[in-house]
Chain A
Amino acid sequence: MGKIWVFGDNISTDDIIPGRRNITSNEKELARYVFEYKRPEFSKRVLEGDIIIGGLNFGCGSSREHAPIAIRASGVRNLVAKSYATIFYRNCINVGLYPLILKEDIILEENTKGKICLDQSKIVLEDGKEYLLEEVPFFIQEIIDLGGLIPYLNEKNTYLI
């Protein structure tokens, strides 16, 4: 199980990675500054397999793909939120991150751990509580599982919706 990092509503791409840090596309460099202002300890303490849980409209603001890349480079593979900003949602898919959507309200204590069961569309917490997630449409799953949009198009040549 991974640590769950809890964020509120309207987390912007500026919160995820400030605009002034986008002068590089070096992934390790971007990972150093992820949530720099919002959660200064995040980049130092995050571990592979940790989960981010956000509220409404996660990833709003600028279209910068640096945001999901910085999250992916920090080791997080699964995001969970009540809803996502449109562009951020696509960007996650395109770089091979799962943007999962909660179907029901979730109550979280500090320092909770949990894991995602993709095949059953749910998140399971360490105290055994389970919460349902929306099913990811098949063609979107295919893009993520192939590693993102470019590998998907390399294989399929076009959008098979």
Chain B
Amino acid sequence: MEETLVEKIIKSKGSVRGDYSVLDVDLVMSHDTTTPLAIDAFNNFKEKSFFEKNKIKIFFDHVYPSSHSSASELHRKMIDFAKKNGLKTYRGQGICHTLMIDKYVKPEMVVIGGDSHTPVYGIVSTLAFGMGSTDIAACWKTGKTWIKIPESMLIEVRGELQKGVYSKDIALRYVSEIRSEGGLNQALEFTGNTLRKMDKFDRMAIGIMATETSAQTQIFWDENTGLVGDKNANYNEKFLIDVTNLEPQIACPHEVDNVHSVTEVEGIEIDQVFVGSCTNGNYKDMEIVAQIIKDNKVDPNTRLIIIPATRKILQQAMKNDLINIFLNAGALVCYPGCGPCLGRQQGVLASGERCLSTSNRNYRGRMGSPNAEIFLASPAVAAATAINGEITDPRRYV
């Protein structure tokens, strides 16, 4: 029988019964928002043991260093738990997903993570699922998890991107076609010549945004290693996205699938611009912003906040003088981590404020006040917008 790539990996890594599967898990990830509850759940086990300690990865990135004493207490709880049990933690090194993709996840692995954007690991043909804290605790002990086997949708991305258009624009485009609930409980499988040429960090924006279609997971085919779905496998739906004439895209408040071409909303005044997050905090994103912003100044009525995703990216940006370019232009550069994406630190929005962010969610209240507005776009749109204090098409700068 012909199979999707997701079905192939599930069969090789677990047992299948009907619509369900129990999988052997290669890595278990969690961070400072989801680990504290996982510890509480774990402490309810009668026998407190770990399946393999070196397969457990615990990151401090969501609110680190802490901005509030109650978050500090949770950090303390994590540090004490890790010390007592001999578990390794990654503190202050940057965002979990970027670090996992840089160093730990490999093709054909099964990974679960206490974070909804965990499926991003599929960009290197890993099968990854986001889960809650109790599932993480259960996997710490058993090394296994159960899933309902998802049906797959196939998305082929084809064509050459124009100047000033990036992977984030492809991501917003397909989200607006599938819609925010269109991928519910499904797996998105990606293929096509546009994606094959992209490196894994460029792919991150595309992989991250799959979660915003409500998909259970996403995975990129790898034709070089034969990690592909069969041609006549049972795909629920097939999308072909030709990006040849794609313009810079923007998701407008308050839904991620409320997507327009930037040209349609140019001129809207913006109070805060955020460049960073797991979606667009990579080195190349820093370079794109630096290219646009050098020899320019941030509009005096706009805050530009730039946060490289990891310490390594920050160091690279320092070495190549990008940080000086940012600071000279008037940007606020903060320490690697999730930043203001989740509305707890480093740029929490006031009522009535408008933010243009390179992150992944524009729900009401996501970045602070429920009466703030969030637009999502690429780092290029962000940089051009910061210069003018209003939404700006970046193509006039590149």
Question: Which residues of A are interface residues toward B (Cβ below 8 A)?
Answer: 9-10, 12, 14-15, 18-20, 22-25, 37, 56-57, 60-66, 68-69, 83, 85-87, 90-91, 94-95, 137, 139, 148-151, 153-154, 158-159, 161
Contact = CB atoms under 8 A, between A and B. Distances in A.
Interface residues of B, number: 55
Contact of A20 (B133, B185, B344): B344
B36 interface: yes
B63 A94 contact: no
Interface in B181-220: 181, 184-185, 214, 216
B33 A153 contact: no
Contact of A159 (B130, B146, B181): B146
18 contacts: A14-B366, A15-B364, A22-B33, A56-B184, A60-B180, A62-B116, A63-B131, A64-B34, A65-B37, A87-B116, A90-B131, A91-B134, A94-B134, A139-B20, A149-B138, A153-B141, A158-B144, A161-B17
B101 interface: no
B115 A85 contact: no
A57 B344 contact: no
Contact of A25 (B36, B42, B343, B363): B36
B373 interface: no
Interface stretch (B67-75, B261-269, B273-281): B67-75
Given A23-B74, A24-B70, A86-B185, A161 B37 contact: no
Given A20-B348, A87-B131, A91-B132, 12 more contacts: A14-B366, A19-B365, A57-B180, A60-B180, A61-B116, A63-B116, A86-B184, A86-B214, A87-B130, A90-B131, A158-B22, A158-B142
A121 B370 CA distance: 37
Nearest to B47: A154
A141 to B, nearest CB: 14
Contacts of A12: 363
B364 A37 contact: yes
Contacts, number: 136
Contacts of B137: 150
B41 interface: yes
A95 B40 CA distance: 12
Contacts of A137: 20
B344 A61 contact: no
Contacts of B41: 94, 149-150
A19 B343 contact: yes
Contacts of B42: 150
B344 A159 contact: no
B33 A161 contact: no
B63 A23 contact: yes
A161 B131 contact: no
B252 interface: no
A122 B203 CA distance: 45
Contacts of B141: 153
A20 B370 CA distance: 12
A94 B348 CA distance: 32
Contact of A153 (B45, B68, B364): B45
Interface string B41-59: 1101110000000000000
B114 interface: yes
B173 interface: no
Given A10-B180, A14-B365, A153-B45, A87 B132 contact: yes
B342 interface: yes
